[in-house]
Amino acid sequence: MPDRALKFSELSVLVVLMVEAREVSNPELKERHGGMSLDGKTRIRLNDLKLVESHKRGRSYAHTLTDAGWARVAEEFRAGAIPAPRGTAGAMARALATGIHAFLERTDHLLAEVFQPRDETDPAPETPAQAAPEAAPETRPREEPSAGPDPREHPGTEEPRAADVEARIRTAYTELAPEAGAWVSLTRLRPLLGDVARAQVDDVLTLMNRMPDVNIVPESNRKALSPQDRNAAVTIGDQEKHLLSIGAR
């Protein structure tokens, strides 16, 4: 619809919030991204379109890209119709968008797998001067390592790719749902996913929740939840969710 068409400045904000993959305040946007901010009519419009959530943090606004916002950026990249200005800047923006989309298609990755919030708590790597001096070598006779299983004889099982786990979730949903868009409990879904690790299933469900055809919600009647339902829930955004719908738009 014409009223949903994005300007280049609006899409630029969505892309920056996608790269940050976290809540970002206007002062942070200005400091980290060349003076960018999200104010006035642009903020109101992106909020109205449900692409960005904004709230007051102190004296300024802070913003987060919504699941619909993630899906919209992916849609713009997939369509290849980036509303970029003419000239070098526009050509660069379109080339980057095309390259990212090609990478996602080639590797079966999702945008949410590429852009993750940085862990600011990681300590900086030590420089050689900071590193502790090595201890002097011991003079006692060297002990022979104890015999153990040869890792070549017992190779570890590789974790399936996110795209493969997503395919298994969609297949399981199709087996359980009477029609596209119907609600299916995660209690019934999880046993059909075989030996895929619980943590990986939860990660993929979280990523899928940003897709336009997927919706994962909590059970509104909390009293109706069994212990099995509570155990099967996936936590997304600090909220336990129990029901999955795929195919309704």
String of DSSP letters for 20-33: HTS-EEHHHHHHHT
Tell me which DSSP letter residue 237 carries.
Answer: T
Global pTM reads: 0.49
CA distance 165 to 199: 11
**pLDDT value for 145:** 45
- For residue 131, give both structure tokens: 């590193």
- For residue 125, give both structure tokens: 């790597």
**pLDDT value for 125:** 44
Rounded alpha-carbon distances, angstroms, from residue 23 to 16, 53, 119: 11, 9, 13
Q: Which residues of 73-91 are buried (b: 16+ CB within 10 A; e: fewer)?
A: bbebbeeeebbbeeeeeee
* CB neighbourhood size of 241 (10 A): 19
**pLDDT value for 236:** 86
Domain residue ranges in the chain: 2-114, 163-246
- Per-residue pLDDT tens over the stretch 53-68: 998 888 889 998 888 8
- For residue 83, give both structure tokens: 């509303």
Contact 65, 19 (CB under 8 A): no
CA distance 148 to 17: 49
Length of the chain: 249
Rounded alpha-carbon distances, angstroms, from residue 54 to 14, 44, 48, 66: 13, 9, 11, 10
CA distance 180 to 69: 23
**pLDDT value for 98:** 81
CA dihedral (46, 50, 51, 53) positive or negative: positive
- Per-residue pLDDT tens over the stretch 119-155: 554 444 444 444 444 454 455 555 444 444 444 444 5
**pLDDT value for 127:** 44
Q: Which residues of the chain have pLDDT under 70?
A: 1-3, 81, 83-85, 117-157, 248-249
The correct answer on CATH 3.10.20.30 for the domain covering 2-114 is no
**pLDDT value for 184:** 93
* Secondary-structure breakdown of the chain: helix, strand, coil percentages, each rounded to the nearest 5: 45, 10, 45
